[in-house]
Chains A and B, each alone.
Chain A
Amino acid sequence: MIETLSVYLQHKFVVYALIVGVLIALSSSLLGVTLVLKRFSFIGDGLSHVAFGGMAIASVLSLTNKMILILPITVVCAILLLRTGQNTRIKGDAAIAMISVGALAFGYLIMNIFSASSNLSGDVCSTLFGSTSILTLTSFEVFLCVILSIAVVVIFIVFYNKIFAVTFDENFAKAVGTKADGYNLLIAVVIAIIIVLAMNLVGSLLISALVIFPALSAMRVFKNFKSVTVCAAIISVACAFGGMIISILAGTPVGSTIVAVDVAAFAICSLTGAILGVEK
């Protein structure tokens, strides 16, 4: 087993995949707690479908760097979603549902009508479930992933206290003069970046799992925001790393293996929490 692994690790693209995977897992876990608590669990799902639509357009235009198109589209949609989430006729969850299925349908439609590829269902499947895309990253994409992941982590640390305050009590934050709307916008942009990054790792259908599971697992065991955040990050990184190793050894699809490991971690954490008596 170790031998098989060391053979694989001699390939540059496998090492790239592991590095990128771990970084993406780290950044995606950070905002999970905020999203779960703000009742925005599904925003990741909605945005990932938008990213799928963006990916379809990029494929049709046969852009070499698809991220350059996908990123701005997703960021704009994230801002629109969070903006319209408050005080509008179409409420938050409905808006997310609309945008997500709309983008999914248009994405598939565009790919179907314009695609030059002979293996259309294969293309769609790999975009949705990220089957091998993590292994086929160009060095520019690896570079971009690393920079963006680090940016997400740095932004999160610098604004940690503000993000906590705005998540816990937005009205209080506004009342004492914190620019809560600005921070909500920042959160939206960061989520969009994370979604686009995570798409490479697990594909657009499974992104929510990467964002939500580590946070939920950590919340089962820990009781304060700091430990929950740190624990979520550790769980996420460990699951992504473990999942990738398993998928290399067993030849399973990367994305779904990682998510399966995340689900297992959630089960373990729930059990631990129940034994420790954290959940009443």
Chain B
Amino acid sequence: MSYITVENLEVGYDKSVISEKLNFKIESGEYLCIVGENGSGKSTLMKTLLGLIKPVSGQIKKADGLENGEIGYLPQQTVVQRDFPASVKEIVMSGFQARCGLRPFYNAQEKKLALENMERMGITELADQCYRELSGGQQQRVLLARALCATRKILLLDEPVAGLDPKVTADMYELIASLNKEGITIIMISHDISAATRYADHILHIGERVFFGTTDEYLNSDIGKSFVTLQKGGENQ
């Protein structure tokens, strides 16, 4: 059975629909990129998948075990976080909150796992540093480590490279690709169509027209061709 199956889904806030009816599914181990123009509802779709917003209509079916605590999420940064006094370790540990249930404190095994995840993200030596003093790329790695504490199955990333410089952006994409190779399913929102088509194996394009298929199919479709040219044109200006 597919990890997540979406049928006739319409997303939006307070009953006002901002997307076409969407149909797609994600299998275990896939890498799906959600692309589309600004305001086409990419973040809203992701929040709906996460259950933060109720779907206006349609269905999202999740495979068993994905319901609680098995989804990792890398949200866009919020204003609150910019001046939050928290150490890297505290933030990474908070990824375990769902696994704890009503148990008030984190146990030894979770602490060990947190250290492993920080190691994977290459932020071990930052453990006691203050989050707000880190660079943008380091902050994203911290949030990624936290997301890994919440899941080993599926990661949802909302523009993980927004505001990063080209070198750090490339590193970030490689990091995400390596997680995907380890077997973690990735769903990522991206503005960067060239990176999306390079790394993802499936593309969901939303907006006035909707497309879902493999990356090859997308690159050969009308909608894909015109969007890629549009973005390339934008970059050359």
Contact = CB atoms under 8 A, between A and B. Distances in A.
A161 B95 contact: no
Interface stretch (B24-32, B46-54, B170-178, B216-224): B46-54
B104 A159 contact: yes
A166 to B, nearest CB: 9
Contacts, number: 99
B86 A161 contact: no
A102 to B, nearest CB: 28
Please indicate which of the listed interface residues A38, A171, A219 has the most CB atoms of chain B within 10 Å of its own CB: A171
Nearest to A157: B104
Nearest to B50: A175
A83 B78 CA distance: 20
A228 B86 CA distance: 9
Of B51, B90, B156, chain A has the most CB atoms within 10 Å of the CB of: B90
B97 A161 contact: yes
Given A176-B71, A177-B98, A223 B87 contact: yes
B103 to A, nearest CB: 9
Interface residues of B, number: 39
A11 B159 CA distance: 64
Contacts of B78: 169, 171
Contacts of A238: none
Contacts of A167: 80, 84
Interface of A: 33, 37-39, 157-162, 164-165, 167-169, 171-178, 219, 222-226, 228, 280
Interface of B: 47, 50-52, 67-69, 71-73, 75, 78, 80-81, 83-87, 90-91, 93-95, 97-98, 100, 104-106, 128-130, 133, 146-147, 150-151, 156
